[in-house]
């Protein structure tokens, strides 16, 4: 115990007694394998330091440690999307803080088995889409492929560039009662979870930093580094891009797509970001079309091309299949490889392994019988009490298929009879699988270390040195104590997996060594990302504009609660024009603007710091809460002040932390444009001849310029001075001219500002507007000028969209 990060242990030892009972009461469930205890009930050597450490902790210390992990996950914004009866919602990542520990030696055997399996799957899929010998020679029943929704006919005969179909797979594995590991399911379509495994690791290492440092745990970074290099090697030219292709923010694992893209430095794209031109895949960026030659696909293959694959897909790229056929893009994994996930295929793998690799399957699959064959159907019927019956073509593992599978032993007698009939009439669509009992692993439940059923998700990547298995992965922990695997359906947790060596492990990071340092400029910004940034800027500013007007309105209403008094009525009329009802405390349309800002931001999570995201969500949440309860008048005025402060917090985070490049410019142009519009409309409305008393002072207050006005003009508010300060003063960050100057500056820096040495139409327009306004005098600013200015700003937004965002 030399390297004690002693502060905690010493101080804790004095203040609180160890909560040994929490760990001492741990008992394995009879007849069930346990990860921590061996069959004799002894703690496995690899677990001893962890268990000892847990036993030394007081309940308080344990709570603090777990809270550190939770805080990390919350601050990092780790979430997944859960679909339920109430629609979908982002949920915090449910971590089980105690990692699963596996000895290196045992892991090595597992990894060998999984490498063999990955190789086998590659050979099988290459045959299914290639020579088709396996069907012709009777090794795979044709019905299993022909009726399979994942058999994508347009890809038959299409050899992938580089010759490989599979680049990244995952396996769901579990330990049976005899202590041996079984593969429960193969994931080849778009395996998820590798990013969550990384986040689990960081969070768990926070909770157990001392134990982690002492335990010789294999690191995960080198696995990702090797895979990144492998993908780099798949590029056709150095200029090509690699992208993670995501179905979008509505997907349950979108966080992970954004996280992986950020972690590995790839673009995060959706189907509509891509265009196929002359059989090449291109990404639409604000700098024009740029080639993409590697797509790490998190989108199910059938949805990736509405032209040749699923015609109902709205998230695909028309023509993608043509580009694939032309050999111009490496898909990770190849379109169509999802067919390997077919549950019934598990029944044929042992024979296929012997036939194709000339060896036995090193790691068995869960025993599976496809009921399309008479002998197999007979076997399943006879042993129905030990079987899980489910759909043969399902690509989901039986314990995770939303209740499509049934456990034979739970059927009542008459249901059993109908099951037998079902098997007889529709056997080809059914599989029987042995109802395995999974091992348990310790989890803290109500302050006690408790055995919970678990399965592991393990990842394999094709690298320059062949298949590599991620040393770790993530463990899925069942919600209840029912160890029948089928109980793991919902409400489970995830835990980190530590592969523990008995000697020090190599520590690598993904950062290049210092001598290879290069300052890379960010790549071209995808048009859709620019669009979202631009609109994020506009919505945020629109919300701010509304907040400022409403605060001023409610402050006056608080003094004289008569909404018909001239000034209030006058401003209410203006607000009504922009769909805001001043009679509501916090109006619904204001929430709409903030929600739109959140939506825009949610589409570009990979470009956002978690801090900024949390600040924006906090603003939205607070606004919704206020909307429920805030009353007009003083209450509302105060609420607006709080919301303005929160909004300024978000804007400040963006301003202080966002890298000043193309993305920043679109966000800024969006804000400036909206702020310019806001001030133009207001001035146009409030500087008319018939404005009620107090309008000019209110205008200054909305423009946050009361003090400046007092200091700069030694007169009371007058139309000319207010116009001078709010429209034409280049030093006032609220004035229209200030916005125009900023926009002009940013536009100058955008790609394609000059085309063949000529100003682009967009740049020309921004320049013209800025120049026109800069030479104006306050007395010339009348309603007609403001109206024209408003039109010009809207027009500027339109040409920006035409130039960069389509």
Would you tell me which residues interact with other proteins (CB under 8 A)?
Answer: 132, 135-138, 141-143, 145-147, 153-154, 156, 275-278, 306-308, 310-311, 318-319, 322, 325
Nearer to other proteins, 143 or 591 (CB): 143
- Minimum CB separation of residue 369 from other proteins in Å reads 16
Nearer to other proteins, 2 or 375 (CB): 375
Nearer to other proteins, 139 or 713 (CB): 139
Nearer to other proteins, 325 or 768 (CB): 325
Please state, in angstroms and rounded to a whole number, the distance separating the CA atoms of residues 77 and 74. 5
Q: Report the DSSP pairing between strands 100-103 and 493-500.
A: parallel
550 CA to centre of own chain: 35
- Minimum CB separation of residue 157 from other proteins in Å reads 8
Whether the Cβ atoms of residue 219 and residue 505 lie closer than 8 Å to each other? yes
Nearer to other proteins, 299 or 494 (CB): 299
- Minimum CB separation of residue 422 from other proteins in Å reads 14
Kindly report the backbone phi and psi dihedral angles of residue 275, in degrees, each rounded to the nearest multiple of 5, phi listed first: -135, 150
- Minimum CB separation of residue 333 from other proteins in Å reads 20
579 CA to centre of own chain: 33
- Minimum CB separation of residue 346 from other proteins in Å reads 20
Nearer to other proteins, 275 or 591 (CB): 275
- Minimum CB separation of residue 377 from other proteins in Å reads 13
Please state, in angstroms and rounded to a whole number, the distance separating the CA atoms of residues 686 and 677. 14
Nearer to other proteins, 559 or 798 (CB): 798
287 CA to centre of own chain: 26
- Minimum CB separation of residue 136 from other proteins in Å reads 6
Q: Report the DSSP pairing between strands 330-332 and 288-297.
A: parallel
The H-assigned helical ranges of 129-218 are 133-136, 142-146, 194-207, 209-214
The 10 Å CB-count burial string (b at 16+, else e) for 295-325 is bbbbbbbbbbbbbbbbeebebbbbbbbbbbb
Beta bridge partners of 283: 274, 290
The 10 Å CB-count burial string (b at 16+, else e) for 86-111 is eeeeeeebebbbbbbbbbbeebeebb
- Minimum CB separation of residue 148 from other proteins in Å reads 8
Whether the Cβ atoms of residue 496 and residue 96 lie closer than 8 Å to each other? no
With a CB cutoff of 8 Å and minimum separation 6, the contacts of 82 are 88, 89, 90, 91, 252
The H-assigned helical ranges of 176-253 are 194-207, 209-214, 221-234
- Minimum CB separation of residue 277 from other proteins in Å reads 7
Please state, in angstroms and rounded to a whole number, the distance separating the CA atoms of residues 584 and 683. 24
Please state, in angstroms and rounded to a whole number, the distance separating the CA atoms of residues 440 and 482. 10
**Angle, in degrees to the nearest 10, between helices 662-686 and 527-559:** 30
- Which CA distances in Å does 346 have to 187, 336, 370? 12, 17, 9
Nearer to other proteins, 127 or 199 (CB): 127
Nearer to other proteins, 137 or 618 (CB): 137
Please state, in angstroms and rounded to a whole number, the distance separating the CA atoms of residues 217 and 497. 9
- Roughly how many angstroms between the first and final C-alpha of the chain, as a whole number? 62
How many other β-carbons are positioned within 10 Å of the β-carbon of residue 754?
Answer: 12
Instruction: Respond yes or no on whether the N-terminal peptide bond of residue 333 is cis (omega within 30° of 0).
Output: yes
Nearer to other proteins, 129 or 613 (CB): 129
- Minimum CB separation of residue 58 from other proteins in Å reads 60
Nearer to other proteins, 289 or 357 (CB): 289
Q: Report the DSSP pairing between strands 448-463 and 168-175.
A: antiparallel
Beta bridge partners of 187: 170
Nearer to other proteins, 172 or 308 (CB): 308
Beta bridge partners of 698: none
664 CA to centre of own chain: 21
Nearer to other proteins, 270 or 606 (CB): 270
Nearer to other proteins, 194 or 283 (CB): 283
């Amino acid at each position: 115990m030399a390297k004690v990060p002693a502060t905690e242990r010493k101080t804790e030892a004095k203040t609180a007694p160890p909560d040994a009972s929490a760990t001492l009461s741990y008992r394995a469930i009879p007849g069930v394998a346990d990860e921590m205890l061996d069959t004799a009930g002894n703690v496995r050597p690899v677990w001893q330091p962890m268990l000892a450490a847990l036993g030394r902790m007081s309940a308080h210390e344990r709570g603090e440690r777990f809270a550190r992990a939770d805080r990390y996950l919350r601050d990092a914004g780790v979430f997944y999307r859960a679909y339920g009866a109430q629609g979908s919602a982002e949920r915090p990542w449910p971590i089980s803080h105690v990692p699963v520990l596996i000895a290196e030696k045992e892991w090595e055997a597992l990894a060998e088995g999984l490498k063999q399996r990955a190789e086998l799957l590659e050979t099988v899929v290459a045959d299914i889409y290639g020579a088709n010998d396996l069907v012709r020679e009777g090794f795979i029943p044709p019905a299993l492929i022909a009726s399979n929704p994942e058999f994508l006919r347009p890809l038959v005969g299409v050899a992938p560039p580089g010759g490989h179909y599979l680049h990244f797979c995952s396996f769901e594995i579990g330990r049976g009662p005899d202590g041996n590991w079984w593969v429960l399911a193969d994931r080849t379509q778009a395996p998820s979870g590798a990013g969550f495994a990384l986040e689990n690791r960081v969070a768990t290492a926070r909770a157990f930093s001392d134990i982690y440092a002492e335990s010789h745990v294999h690191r995960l970074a080198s696995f990702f580094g090797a895979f990144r290099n492998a993908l780099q090697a798949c590029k056709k030219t150095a200029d090509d891009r690699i992208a993670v292709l995501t179905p979008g923010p509505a997907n349950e694992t979108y966080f992970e797509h954004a996280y992986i893209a950020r972690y590995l430095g790839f673009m995060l794209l959706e189907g509509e970001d891509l265009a196929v031109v002359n059989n090449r895949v291109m990404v639409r960026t604000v700098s024009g079309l740029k080639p993409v030659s590697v797509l790490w696909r998190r989108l199910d293959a059938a949805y990736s091309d509405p032209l040749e694959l699923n015609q109902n897909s709205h998230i695909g790229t028309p023509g993608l299949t043509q580009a694939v056929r032309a050999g111009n893009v490496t898909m990770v994994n190849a379109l169509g490889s999802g067919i390997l996930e077919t549950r019934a295929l598990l029944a044929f793998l042992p024979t296929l392994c012997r036939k194709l690799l000339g060896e036995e399957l090193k790691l068995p699959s869960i025993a599976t019988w496809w009921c399309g064959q008479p002998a197999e159907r007979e076997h399943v019927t006879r042993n129905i009490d030990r079987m899980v019956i489910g759909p043969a073509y399902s690509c989901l593992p039986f314990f995770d298929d939303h209740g499509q599978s049934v456990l034979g032993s739970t059927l009542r007698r008459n249901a059993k009879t109908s099951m037998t009939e079902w098997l007889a009439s529709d056997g080809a669509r059914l599989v029987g699988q042995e109802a395995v009992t999974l091992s348990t692993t310790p989890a803290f439940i109500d302050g006690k270390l408790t055995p919970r059923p678990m399965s592991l998700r393990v990842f394999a990547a094709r690298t320059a040195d062949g298949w590599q298995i991620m040393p770790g992965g993530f463990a899925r922990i069942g919600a209840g104590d029912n160890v029948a695997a089928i109980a793991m359906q919902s409400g489970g947790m995830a835990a980190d997996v530590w592969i523990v060596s008995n000697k020090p492990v190599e520590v690598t990071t993904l950062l290049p060594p210092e001598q290879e340092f290069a300052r890379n400029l960010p790549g071209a910004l995808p048009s859709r990302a620019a669009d979202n940034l631009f609109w994020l800027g506009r919505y945020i500013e629109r919300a701010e504009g509304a907040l400022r007007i409403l605060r001023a309105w409610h402050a006056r209403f608080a003094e004289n609660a008569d909404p018909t008094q001239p000034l209030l009525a006058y401003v209410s009329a203006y607000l009504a024009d922009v769909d805001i009802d001043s009679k509501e405390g916090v109006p619904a349309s204001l929430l709409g603007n903030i929600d739109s800002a959140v939506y825009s931001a949610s589409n570009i999570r990979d470009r956002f710091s978690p801090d900024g995201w949390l600040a924006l969500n906090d603003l939205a949440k607070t606004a919704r809460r206020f909307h429920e309860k805030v009353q007009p008048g003083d209450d509302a005025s105060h609420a607006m002040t709080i919301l303005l402060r929160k909004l300024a917090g978000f804007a400040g985070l963006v301003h202080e932390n966002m890298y000043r490049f193309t993305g920043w410019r679109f966000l800024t142009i969006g804000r400036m444009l909206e702020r310019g519009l806001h001030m133009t409309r207001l001035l146009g409305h409030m500087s008319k001849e018939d404005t009620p008393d107090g309008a000019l002072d209110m205008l200054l207050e909305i423009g946050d310029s009361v003090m400046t006005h007092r200091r700069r003009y030694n007169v009371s508010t007058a139309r000319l001075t207010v116009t001078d300060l709010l429209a034409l003063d280049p030093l006032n960050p609220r004035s229209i001219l200030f916005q125009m100057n900023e926009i002009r500056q940013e536009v100058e820096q955008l790609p394609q500002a000059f085309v063949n040495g000529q100003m682009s139409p967009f740049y020309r327009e921004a320049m013209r507007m800025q120049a026109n306004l800069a030479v104006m005098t306050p007395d010339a600013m009348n309603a007609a000028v403001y109206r024209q200015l408003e039109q010009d700003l809207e027009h500027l937004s339109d040409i920006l969209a035409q130039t960069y965002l389509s």
